[in-house]
Structures are given as structure tokens and as C-alpha cells.
Structure 1
Amino acid sequence: MKVLITNDDGPLNDIFSPYIRPFIQYLKKCHPEWEITVCVPDTQKSWIGKAHLAGRKLSAQFLYSDVNANDNSYRGPYNLPQYSCTDSLLPRESTKPLPKDTIEWVLINGTPASCANIGLYKLCLKKFDLLISGPNVGKNTSAAYITSSGTVGAALESVICSDTKAIAISWAYYNGVQVVDSAVMEIASARSIEVLQYLLSNWDQNYDLYSINIPLTHELNFDTKVKYAPIWENRWTCMYEGPIYNIGKTQDIQDGSKSEAITFNWSPNFDLHENSRHSIKDSEYDMHLIDRKLICVTPIRAVFHSFDKTSEYFDKEIIIPRDDIVLNKKVNGNKQLLSVVSIPKTEYIYNPLLNALKRYLPNVDFQSELSKESIKSTSKIFHYGDYEQLDMARLLSEPNNYYANSYIYRKALIRKHYLADTIKNYIVKHPESILVQSFLESFILDLDYAEFLDDSLDENWELRQELENIESKKWWIVKPSMSDKGQGIRVFKTIEDLQSIFDSFDDEPDENVDENDNENKIIISQLRHFIVQEYLKNPLLLPSMNNKKFHIRCYITCKSDLQVFVYDRMLALFAPTPFKKLDEESYTATNHQDLECHLTNTCLQEGNGKELSVMEFNNLKDISTETKKKYIDQIHEIAHDLFLAAATVNRINFQPLPNAFETYGVDLLVDSDYNVKILEVNAYPDFKQTGDELKGLIDQLFDNTVKFCVLPFFNKSFNVLPDAKSSFTKVLDHTSNSW
């Protein structure tokens, strides 16, 4: 199939022509075998109908863009084509063939109809099978719009001048919001192409072209109805304002001369009125369907006469037999697609997850548990559940049919002593890595009971030397490697402090001790592994937050083996009390109250202050936008090296799977010198610490996760990457060796 694409909005542009790039990208992905030529006006030419600029000489320029680009960037313009083409009628600058992943844009300084005519007759040797005009920015419904439309005008030119089939596509936006997120445009592209394919296979020879209108809204999905619709015959009122008397003034005239003039300013009144032929109650016309956010298809003769209520098409719904281009519930015979969400409905993340799944997977069945019956009747299963609920055997044995929200082996990151070992081994091989400066000096202790501390320090003589150095100004923090929610974390300076900490852990709970302090205890013999890390004495403090210490919680999602995405909407989690500098005279290592200002774990906080303990990082007042960006850039670099380290130097304990993804809560500190430091990596992070005020942050996280990580499992044609405007940033794309 040889296809010519034009429009009336011009070439790549974030404001005037934001739709054509994602549409062409999706079309090329679905139909790589189609030969596509793009010829568009060099600037926006809306409201121009099927017009030519009579007597005007037209010229061409050429742009080049990458098929996989996530923005509207391009190279050019050039006066001559930069690559050769065996099918071209144009002189070429080079004999070098057009790269496979490059789009050539022919820009004509004329109207859409002129682009259609020149494209059909002057660009290629072979005849075109189809002209696609659009996607237009805005709707083309009702007589007032469709007769003015340059998009429809180019389609009319195609059938009038060359009898080439033509389809005009328009994406209707709402409430003045023209530019929507990439997910909506992907679905609009998919629906446009499936309707286009249906029409090509079911072309009615009584009509010359079709006009398709797609509602560009978050409500658009694969169940949105597609209906034939005749043109609503409404009428314009006055389109201009004036007259304006320019007495004594000079007015620019098109040919460059100056003259006094009476002028009329372009000021269309969009309050259209109906034709008496139709009642406004007739709600199955094109304008009414698109207002109800349905997809409408209008067959048109090139005499501006559409069908009416007596036609077989009136109020007829189009039922499209789906193929592999769009998501289909039925695959591999009668087997279904299934999504299993086995976490309790009361979980904080249940609704954000379910809403995202239903948005992107509307034709997939949902269940709350994975049963033997469902496994037998399904072709592909996505399972989101707690680690213990996942079918690990199936995760390993059925990579094409079972997809889950967790890897099996990831101790290299989520166990603190493994994490320290992973980073240490990586920076030995990569001394230039940002991990050298972003991970504080750390040591691993291995002991079963408090009385074995001395033996453990003998085995870790470097740590003993540090602690016995009376000249040292360093303070240290000890953390159980396998605990969470801040349990067992203590700050200390000497061996005597550390011994008293372990002694207190082994004690039975004391009724006279604060309840929170008992909850913060651990039993050494149940954990065994501890990490001792240099304590950051100079955390960044913010006056607007009463100089409380805080850490950053960043959600990082790994997909398959191995893409890594950083979610750029991060949290700032604050300690309950203002920070106090550590002082050997006044600080007691086992005193819970002395520890309060140093711990930023929200799970340890009670009362009204908890609402103020979590904020969105980008909303912090004392840090400039430029500085925040520097922090986020550091975090991107840290995430790249951290997950690359786990995937390369500790492959036994971190094994990404092609049919899994996982979201980690990565905690980081910022010091007063604006350096970011890694604290820890948490699997199954406690999302509910975000609270009700910032729930939208979690909603968007799961929306991105389903879009970029889950949807491609069911439909590979949706395997797209986040664009520059997305809050998901891809920081690593690594393929592991398959021994």
C-alpha cells in the first residue's frame, strides 16, 4: 500500500501541529510494509477549504525527523532532498538512501489541496493507493466546519483530481485543551487506524471519501462506539468585527504598499445556529455524536452531499472486527486475557492500580485471585499481588503468558548489607561512577547475640579502627539489614555506644519505657546482619519546615531485563522535630527522644504532625527550581549506576525477568553541600505514607506504570517509551548476557 499523508496544520510543531508525529509513528509501527510519503503545508493553513492559490508559484523544502523521537524535533529545512529514493520524481542531493528510522517531510508553501495535488502527481513515480489528511487539530463536524476545513479539502482534492481514495481524520479536543498526554494520543492513533482499515475493507462505491472524527479525551478507549453520522447542516453568523475606520493612519497591504483603509478583523462567532431542516433533537448527526464523545464516520460525495435520515447508514453503529493492531479480548482461539489483582481492596494503592488497568486494558477480564480455572481459560495473565501471592514457578516457566509485578531475586538491592556489597564491588571496577560519592562509607556486621559484638568487630577490623579512633569526628548509624519501618535504627559514636544499643535490643520489653521505643526494638538473633554506615551530620535543612531533617523518597520502576524508569514526582519525608547537632555530652545512643530529630520514617510518627511530615519534593519552597532539577539529574545518574551495578556485579542476587516489572521506593538524603546520598532501596514500598493530600502523585505513578510496563505485555504495538513531557524518565536500557 502506497500512502500519501497531508494536513492543514503544517509540519511538526508543539502548538499548531502536535498530532501528526504520534499518528505517523503509530501508523509505521502497525504497518511497516506501507510506503508512506508526507507532504504538508510549510505553515498552518486552517479554514482554507479545498483551495488553490491561483497564479502563485509554489516551492518545496525538506525536513527529517526520527521515527522513534519523543518530541517534535527535526533536521532542516533543506532546499533539496538529502537522501536518494528510487521512486522519487525530484532531484536529490545525495545517493545515500533514506535511513530506515527517518521520516522525510516535504513542505509546500501552499494549501492542503495544493499539497495533495503535488504529492499525488509530482513526488513519486508509483501511483498512490490512499491519501490520509490529518489528524486535524480540532473537530470537523457540521456544515459550518467541514466546508471550511483544509483537512477535508485535501481529501476532496485527492478524489477530484486523481480519483485516489481519501480519508480525512480529525481529533476533537475539549475545553480548549489541544495538547493532551501521549497516552490519549496513542489511543486516538489506534482508534483512527482501526477505523481507517475497516473503511478500506468496506468501501462504499457510492461515496468518494470519508471524514473520521475522534474525541481526544481521557474517556476515549477501545469500547468507545463508532457510528456513521450525516453532516449537521448548521450555519455561521458573521465572521468579522468592524468596520474599523483607519482615518489618518497607514495600513499594511499584502503587496507591501501603504494606504488608508477601512478594515474588518477576523472574529468568528462560534455560536452556530441550526438549519430549519433539522431539529436540534435529532441527536445522531456528526456534531452531536462528537459532543457526546463518540467516534463518528461521515461518508461524503465530492459534491458536499452526505446521506440523510432515510439512508441505511443513519444511526448505524460500526462494529469493527479487531485484529492485532488494537487490544483484543479474544486471542489464540477462545482464550481470554486476564488481569489478576490479588491485593486487598482496602489497600491504599488498590483503586489507583485498578483505575489505570481499566483505562488502558478495557477489554481485559479482572479477577481477585489466580485460580486453576482461570489459568486454563486464559492466554495471557497479568498478576499484581503481594510477593507471596505470585506464582513464581509460572513466572519462570511461562515468560510469554504470565506477567507479574515483582522479580524473584533482588536481594542485591533490598537487603542493606547486600546493597553495600553491590555498590562496593561496582565502584572498584568503575571508580568514575557517581556511586563513589553518593554512598556513605559502610561496613557489615554479622552477629547473633549482643555479647558477640567484640568478635564481630575483630572480623571487621577496619570498622574497629574507625570506632577506636578518638580523633575522629565521625558519627555512625547502625541499621538491621532486613528490617523496615525504621526498626532498630540507632545513631552512635563509640564501641561502647554500639554495645549498649545491642544490649538494649536483647532486653525484654520494658513496661516503663515509652511504647514507641519498644516498637522500635528488634531481636538480634532473628536478623543477624547489620550495616554500620557513616552518619550524615550536615543534612540540608529548610527554614520553612522548621529546619527538620528530611529524606527524599523516589519511586523507581524496573521493567523486564532491563529498563529502569525514575518517577520524577518525588516525596520529601520529614523528621518529627527540628534537627539538633550531635553532641557526645548530651546525646544518648539508646534514648528514643534523642533519636527523634534524626529519623525521618513517617511510620514512627504520631498525631497531627504526621500530615506535615510528607510533602511533594517539587513543592518545597526553600529550594529553587534550578537546584531541584540538579538534584533530580543526580538521582537519574545514581539510579542508572545503581541498577546497572545490581545487574552486572551481583547478578546472582538480582535477576531481572523479561515478564516482570517492579517498583522500588528508593530513599536518598541531601546534604548541605547539595549532594545526594543513597540510604536504601525498598521492595513493596509503603505507598500509604504519601497520605490523602498527595494521592494524585500515586495515581499518576500507577497510570505511568500500567501504560509503559503492563500494556505492552498484552499488546506489543503499544510498547512506547515516555516522552520529554512525561513524569517517567528512562535512565537505563540494559540487556543482560544470557549464558
Structure 2
Amino acid sequence: MHILVSSNPLITAVTNDDGPPSQQSSPYIHAFVQTLQKAGHVVSVILPHQQRSWIGKAHFVGQVTKPTYFRPGTLHADDGITLDKPAKPDEDVEEWVLIDGTPASCTQLGLYHFFRDRGPVDLVVSGPNYGRNSTSLFSLSSGTIGGAMEAAICAKKAIALSFAFYSRDHDPKLIAGGSRVAVKVIEHLYSNWSPEADLYSINVPLVPDVESHKIMYTYALQNYWTSGSSFDEIPATEGDQDPESHEQEIRQTGEVVDSDVEKQITRHQHRHFKWAPKFGDVQRSIEAAPPGNDGWAIGQGFTSVTPLKANFMHTSDVEPGELKLESDSSPIDPLEVKEPSFHALINYEDPYVQPLILSALERKLPPSSYRLISSLSDLPTPSTPCLQIRSYESLDFHHLMAHPQTSLANAYIIRKALIRKHWLAHTISSWLSKHPDSILKNHVKPTPDFELDYAEFLDEALVEAYELHESFARNAPLADNAPEREWWILKPSMSDRGQGIRLFSNEDELRSIFEEWEADAPDSDLSEPDSDPDNKPSDRNNDGNESRSAAAAIMTSHLRHFVAQPYISPPLLLPSLGNRKFHLRSYVLAAGALRVYIHEEMLALFAARPYEPPSSSLDLGIHLTNTCLQPHPRSSNPHPNPVHLLSTLPLPFPHTSLTDQISTATAQLFEAAARAQMVYFQTLPNAFEIFGVDWLVDEGGTAWLLEVNAFPDFAQSGPEGEGVVRGVWEEAVGIAVGGFFGVGDERGFFGVGEEKGFFGVGEDKGNRKGGMRKVLDIDLGRK
């Protein structure tokens, strides 16, 4: 069979979009061509002379296309040579054609202008692409598929071939195995071509033993970019990057994080932009879709085979026929076009959350009520109504404070009274001293806090920690493994992801913890503490920043504050879920100054291993329930599922017992912070914020407060909790955003015809499972 390999190699005529053999950008083409040749096929190769990925089925209009000639060298080595002139007829050398054009142009020229002496082309193979081409997000822009599509509209059988790699080591054994699978599938398809297919898209995963894995017919998953712009702004002085280097950069990083630097407002800003696709959107769409699509198959280690049509099909919901316009229609006066109620700058800088926020806006607010922008400089005027939903560090609080009637943001400026562990302890103790009958006394354990720079000063630091001294005295006569022994949990006040958490039961054990950290920490980590403004980097994903070493995380300049929480024992254990310790994560919405809502569906986050009391084992995998400590990815996690919905837990008492306790205690907690610590929790009428509040349930069914997290790491909820996170954001948008700007569908969260409240939206109808329950509504006089 005569096979044209073009733009991404295949049989007969072979092309690709990655260019000639290169360990950096086109590592599979040479091995694949050799495998075709060994199978007895006549292979003609025509390729772009350089990287042409993401170009689809394009042609360069007006360009004079010129060929060069490539002689491949050693397999898996970049020692081929390119010549300006073809070999002479009597030279016995293998020679490919390189074109300074696109994959589709290679196909055209290979079919009609080169290789005529070899007879008609039976099949065009475009590939193997360096990377997968699955789902519509990849396929619609793929130069590999574009090369095959060009052959299809020239009435030739065509196959787009892609190799999904998981390592950039380019293992020759994996490449050889993938090439053999590809050739066998191609030969089968050629002999069993579906009359409905114009071309096929094949994705072969480069994994060990791929030849023994399943080969699956799949459908192409229809998905969308949802995380915002696929372009990143770069300095206007930055030089252009050649396509091959930029494609390699994308492959290495997987995804480029958005950046958004505020600039002076002008009519137009002189900015440069770089293509930066958000690959996380693809993975999330695959995880949300049912099995059977091409992306799913690759994730299972299967080879996917997707038959395609070479056209854009019309939708099935439109019948052919005349479209009649309204008889009284008239041209639209541009002056009468209604401006949106507000402009929205949505850049949460979290690929898990960003699409959920955009979806919440679409579901809860009329499309015409808002317009998305990429920078505050895009506002028509500084006073134009504006919503900012961004990471804490990126929020423009100056703009928020300058325009209190028209600007809304997703965070309060100062809220350390809740989110700093030592300040939280002060907030509660201060409130209880003035309100001794407060419900908080039944849900918060006394929590000593202290400051410490060096272990040698521990005695001085604990002078006023009376609860610890009394506990140490009670423990003194007890054996180390005595069940009656009291245990404490040491927590750095501003740490996250379980960093620095340790268990201790006497002063010597506590001292040894700090001595261990000092021994491990470099001198630069033991510097003087900085000031403590509220807008620290640790405010973002307070329970989800990147992990660092324990010593560096704890003894750095701004982490010298510590709290000691009594170990709650025994915790509630559920035999059917492995007798693992767990805590509850409740999502709380604080809006304006001040209404507080709690999402009634909560998450239960479980430890990795079955519970044992501290007297038996100090293994943190038993005692810590933070899911970021669980093995990843979860698909290979040998431990049971770490996340469950509270409503699904087999509790020995009604679920409402916990939701009622947590709702009541949450209301009192936020009121305590707002009234007793007004300097350190400054509510604003034009701000709202979602907090993650953690609770531990003891054996008797009492919920005890653990901590409050600003910008909680929603991604740790995983797929099990995505519905909860989605619901939290949808109802936050309905309550805070829709209410502030006076837009939204009252038939959604609030119902029809109800009285407008403080935020301009209706009152909620009491308790709603899975929805928001309003637990606090106070007027702090901040209008």
C-alpha cells in the first residue's frame, strides 16, 4: 500500500504538524515511518519544515511555498540533514520533503505534486503527533487532524495519529510499541473502512505493554474552554518566541497560569499576548463526562479510535425551511442598546474553581446583566459597576474602597480575627469573657497560644499557658501509653496543608518538636518576625498552599505564633467507613455588614488510616484528616475514599443534629468576630467572602470548632465534593452578586414575589437541604 505521511505521519503518504525528526518537538515520526516500511508499505513523507501545531486546516494565503529535502539519520538521534536540492535519480538514499507551509498544505502537495512516480496514494496518515489529540478542544485546532482533514476533502482515506506521552524521556521501547499498535490499527481500518467515516482520529498512549491494552471505538467529547482567556499578557518589550520553542514550553508546563497586572486606565493599552491554553479545562471536562469518549479512553490506557466527518454538521434542533422575521421589526438603534448592569473581572487563579464561578454566573444571572473583562482598565469609567472575583493578592482594594456603591469584591480586606489561629483563640476567649452563656462554650475547647522564636525560650513563652501547665501536671504520674493521658495538638497559627502539626502531652515533648525544627532549618529561616498585615500570601488557599519542608514552613519570619488545641478524644468513628477519624468542612458565606449563610450540605474529610488513640500511635496519617496529605492521584490511592457528603454518612443520630449545632455556633462565631474584634474583622457592605470552617465530632455527637480558612482549597474536595462547591458558588452569586447589583432570577434560590432584603434579593425560605441557610443578620452600621 502506498502511504503518504504528512503533517503527522501515517501510512502511504505521511505528514505531521511537528516537523522533521527532533527529540524536542517531533520524536516519533522516524520510528513510525520505519515501522510502516517494515510492514511492507510504500511510504512517502512530506512534512512542515518547522513546528506547526495548533494551526488546524490552514493555508498561508499569498505565500510562495518552497520545498527543501530531508535525509533522516540515526533513529532517535537529531542527526538528519536538510538540503536545498533533491537527490539525483541514481542516488540510493531515503529522502523526505519539507515544506515551509502548514500540515494541510503538505497533504495537498504530497497528493498532487510530489511522489507521482510511486503511483496513487492509498492512504494519508497525519502523525504521530507529539501528544494527544482528544476531545473537541484539541481536535478543532490540531494541525495533525487538519492534515488528515485536507486529505479527506480531497476524497482520500485519511487517519490522524497521535501518541499520548507521559514522559519526555522518549523511551525507544515505548515508541516502538506504540508504532506497532498504530500500524496494526491503521491496516485494520483501511480494510474495514466505515462508509460513514471521512477520516479517523487515533490516540495511542505510550505506556508499557500498550500492545496488550484494549483498542476502543470512541466518540469525540464536546468540551469548552472555561477558565478564561487562552492568552497571557506579556511585557510589550518581550521578544517574539519562535513557534517550536513556545510549543515545547507549553508541553513542559502543561498550562500557563494567568497573570493580571493592573495598569493605568487609557483608551487602549499597548500589550503583547502569548498563546497559553488552559489544559486543566480538558481534564475536568473528561472527568465530568460519562465513559466512552476519546479522552476517557486515553486516561484508561486504551488506544482510542474515533471516526469523524470532514464537515461542520448543523444542529439537529433546526428544520430546513424559511426563516421569517417579525413583521414589525425595525433596525436597532445603537444608542438604545442597553449596557450591562455590571462588568465582571473573574480570575480566581485556580483551575478547579474558575470554571465553577463562570458557570455560577451563567446559571444565576441573566446573560445580558454582566460583561466579562480581563482588567479593571477595561471599565468604561472607574465608577462603572464592577465585580471582582480574584485571588486575595490580586484584588484591587483601592478601587473597592474608592467606589463603595458600585464595586463589589469577593473578600474582606481584614479578617484575621477569624483566619489566624491565635487571633481566633483571642476572639473566642474575649467573647466568652463578656458572654459566659454563649453557645460557643459548648463547641470550642480552651486554646492556649504563645509566641516562640527559639526552643530555649519555651519556658518564658508558656508562662501564661495555664491550661497546658495544669494538663502536664495531670499527665506527670501517668505512663506514656496510659489511656487517661491528655494530649494536645500543636498548630502554627499561619500554616496550611497540615504543616507543622504535631502531638504532645508534656513540656519535654513540646520542646523536642521545636529543637527538631531548629536542627533542620537553615539559619535564614530563623530571622526576626515581620509585621503582620492581613493581606499576606498565606491568605490565599489558607488550607491549600504548596507544601514546604516542616522546618522552613514553621520557623520562618512570620510563623512564630502557635496554638495548642486539646486533642478531642474519643472522636466519632464509623465502622462501615473503616473506623477512620474525620472532620467536617462547612462552607460559610459572609455578605456585606453582615449576613452569614451556611451551606447545609457539608463534606466529611477522612484520615488515611484507621484510628488509634495517641497513646497507641502518633502516626499523623491516623490523626490528621487534611485531604492534601492523602496519596495522589486518587485513582492510585490504596486508601478508601477520603471525601464523603455529610448527608450520606451512617451516623448514629440525626444529621440535623450536626447541622443545627454548626449553624448556631457559626452564627455566634461571626458575631463575636464582627462585634468584639471590629479592628481585625472589618466587614464591608460591598464585599462578600466564602470561608471553609472545620469541625471535629466527638463520640457523643458534639461538633467542636477546629479552624476557619479564608480562600479554602476547594480542589481538595475532589470529584466527590464538586457538586457542593458548585452549589456554594451558585448561591453565593445569587445572594451577594445578584443582590448587590440588583439582578438575578428570583425564581431560582429565593422564589417569586418575596420581600426584598438588605442585598436587594428575596429572603430564603427557611432550611433547604443542599442550599444556603441564613444563620446571622445583624446591622453593624457600615453603609
In the superposition, the TM-score normalised over structure 1's length comes to 0.52
Alignment-derived partner of residue 523 in structure 1: 554
| Structure 2 counterpart of 1:487, from 489, 499, 508 | 499
Q: Closer, same or farther in 2 for the Cα pair 1:342/1:329, shift >3 Å? A: farther
Hey, what does 2:692 align to over in structure 1?
665
SS in 2 for 1:694: helix
Retained in 2: the 8 A contact 1:548–1:575? yes
The equivalent position to 1:560 in structure 2, one of 592, 603, 606, is 592
Evaluate the alpha carbon distance shift between residue 516 and residue 355 of structure 1 in structure 2; reply closer, same or farther with a 3 A threshold.
Answer: closer
The alpha-carbon deviation at position 609 of structure 1 amounts to: 4.4
Q: Distance between the aligned counterparts of 2:322 and 2:723, measured in 1?
A: 37
Which of the residues 582, 605, 619 maps onto 1:573? 605
Distance 1:598 1:556 in 2: 25
Aligned counterparts, 1:364-379, within 5 A: 364-367=369-372, 369-374=374-379, 376=381, 379=384
Asked if the contact 1:488–1:521 (Cα under 8 Å) also holds between the matched residues in 2, the reply is no
Deviations 1:233-270 (A, max 9, x none): xxxxxxxxxxxxxxxxxxxxxxxxxxxxxxxxxxxxxx
Question: Per the alignment, do residues 579 and 611 of structure 1 end up closer, same or farther by CA in structure 2, a change over 3 Å counting?
Answer: closer
Q: 1:348 to 1:506 in 2, by over 3 A?
A: same
Q: Which residue of 2 aligns with 1:598?
A: 623
Alpha-carbon distance change, 436 to 321 in structure 1, aligned in 2, over 3 angstroms: farther
Residue 657 of structure 2 corresponds to residue 613 of structure 1: no
Match of 1:546 in 2: 578
Partners of 1:313 and 1:368 in 2: how far apart? Answer: 33
**Paired letter, 2:425:** A
1:722 and 2:747 matched: no
TM-score by length of 2: 0.49
Q: Is the 8 Å Cα contact of residues 609 and 639 (structure 2) preserved in structure 1?
A: no
Structure 1 378/525 Cα, relative in aligned 2: closer, same or farther at 3 Å?
Answer: closer
What secondary structure does 1:406 align onto?
coil
Cα separation, partners in 2 of 1:454 and 1:373, compared to 1, 3 Å: same
CA–CA distance in structure 2, aligned partners of residues 712 and 719 of structure 1: 5
Residues 345 and 376 of structure 2 are in contact (CA less than 8 Å); yes or no, is this contact kept in structure 1?
A: no
User: 1:646/1:666 Cα in 2 relative to 1: closer, same or farther (>3 Å)?
Assistant: same
More strand by share: 1
1:358 is displaced (CA, Å) by: 2.3
Aligned positions of 1:171-320 closer than 5 A: none
Structure 1: how far apart are the matches of 2:723 and 2:346? 20
State the 1:337 CA deviation: 2.2
Instruction: Confirm or deny that 1:623 pairs with 2:651.
Output: yes
- Against the structure 1 CA distance between its residues 318 and 564, is the aligned structure 2 distance closer, same or farther, given a 3 Å change threshold? farther
Q: Deviations over 1:132-159 (max 9, x none)?
A: xxxxxxxxxxxxxxxxxxxxxxxxxxxx
User: Any unmatched runs of 5+ in structure 2?
Assistant: 1-317, 478-483, 523-545, 744-755
Q: Distance in 1 between matches of 2:503 and 2:330?
A: 69
Partner of 2:701: 674
Report the Cα distance in structure 2 between the residues aligned to 1:383 and 1:448, rounded to whole angstroms.
38
Deviation at 1:284, TM superposition (A): 11
The one-letter code matched in structure 2 to 1:435 is L
Matched, 1:731 2:775: yes
Closer, same or farther in 2 for the Cα pair 1:445/1:329, shift >3 Å?
Answer: farther
Contact 2:692-2:712 within 8 A present in 1 as well: yes
- CA distance in 1 between partners of 2:726 and 2:368 (Å): 21
- What's the counterpart of residue 444 of structure 2? 439
Instruction: Determine helix, strand or coil for the equivalent of 1:615.
Output: strand
Give CA deviations for 1:261-305 in whole Å, capped at 9, x if unaligned. xxxxxxxxxxxxxxxxxxx989999xxxxxxxxxxxxxxxxxxxx
Change (3 A) 1:357 1:688: same
Conserved 8 A contact 1:342-1:368: no
Pair 395,445 (structure 1): closer, same or farther in 2 beyond 3 Å? same
Judge conservation of contact 2:582–2:606 (CA < 8 Å) in 1: yes
2:346/2:388 contact within 8 Å kept: yes
CA distance in 1, matches of 2:331, 2:654: 53
Equivalent-residue separation in structure 2 for 1:487 and 1:401 (angstroms): 40
Is the Cα contact below 8 Å between 1:468 and 1:495 reproduced in 2? no
Q: Please say if residues 666 and 681 of structure 1, whose CA atoms lie closer than 8 Å, have aligned partners that are also in contact.
A: yes
Whether the 8 Å contact between 1:560 and 1:659 is mirrored in structure 2 is: yes
Cα deviation for residue 385 of structure 1 reads 0.3
- How far does the alpha carbon of each residue in 1:13-58 deviate from its partner, in whole angstroms, 9 at most, with x for none? xxxxxxxxxxxxxxxxxxxxxxxxxxxxxxxxxxxxxxxxxxxxxx
Q: How does 1:417-432 map to 2 (within 5 A)?
A: 417-432=422-437
Q: Does the 8 Å CA contact 1:516/1:604 hold for their aligned counterparts?
A: no
Deviation of 1:321 (Å): 12
Aligned partner (choices 698, 702, 716) of residue 725 of structure 2: 698
Between the aligned partners of 1:610 and 1:519, the Cα distance in structure 2 is 24
Q: Are the equivalent residues in 1 in contact too, given 2:395–2:409 (CA < 8 A)?
A: yes
Shift of 1:524: 2.4
Cα deviation for residue 427 of structure 1 reads 1.4
For residues 406 and 610 of structure 2, the distance between their equivalents in structure 1, rounded to whole angstroms, comes to 52
On the 8 A contact 1:602/1:610 being kept in 2, the answer is no
Judged with a 3 Å threshold, the aligned counterparts in structure 2 of structure 1 residues 367 and 499 are, in CA distance, closer, same or farther, namely same
Paired letter, 2:643: V
CA 1:709 to 1:394, structure 2 compared with 1: closer, same or farther past 3 Å?
same
Asked whether the equivalents of residues 486 and 520 of structure 1 are also in contact (C-alpha less than 8 Å), the reply is: no
Distance 2:322 2:591 in 1: 45
Distance 1:462 1:611 in 2: 37
Question: d(CA) in 1 for partners of 2:447 and 2:679?
Answer: 22
* RMSD (CA atoms): 3.2
Change (3 A) 1:706 1:284: farther
Question: How far apart are 1:373 and its partner, in Å?
Answer: 4.0
Could you say which residue in structure 1 is the equivalent of 2:662? 635
How many residues are paired up?
413
Alignment check: 8 A CA contact 2:489 2:565 kept = yes
- Distance verdict in 2 for CA 1:713–1:317, change over 3 Å: farther
Partner secondary structure for residue 520 of structure 2: coil
C-alpha separation in 1, matches of 2:687 and 2:704 = 28
* Cα distance change on mapping 1:506 and 1:322 into 2, 3 Å: farther
Pairwise CA distance, 1:629:
0.7
Which AA in structure 2 matches 1:488? G
One-letter amino acid of the counterpart of residue 500, structure 2: G
Selected match of 2:715 from 688, 693, 697 = 688
Partner AA of 2:726 in structure 1: D
**Residues 536 and 564 (structure 1), Cα distance of their counterparts in 2 relative to 1, 3 Å cut:** same
Q: Are the equivalent residues in 2 in contact too, given 1:640–1:731 (CA < 8 A)?
A: yes
Which SS does the other structure have where 1:612 is aligned?
Answer: coil
% identity of equivalent residues:
38
Partners of 1:314 and 1:458 in 2: CA distance: 86
- Asked if the contact 1:670/1:676 (under 8 Å) is kept, the reply is yes
**Residues 690-733 of structure 1, C-alpha deviations (whole Å, 9 max, x = no match):** 11233122111111111111111211675123324361000000
Structure 1 match to 2:75: none
Counterpart contact for 1:329–1:364, Cα < 8 Å: no
> 8 Å contact 1:562–1:736 — kept in the other structure?
yes
TM-aligned CA deviation for residue 477 of structure 1: 0.7
Residues 580-618 of structure 1: CA distance to partner in whole angstroms, max 9, x if unpaired? 0121xx545xxxxx2220000111111414670011111
2:450 partner SS: strand
Residue 354 of structure 2, aligned match among 339, 342, 350: 350
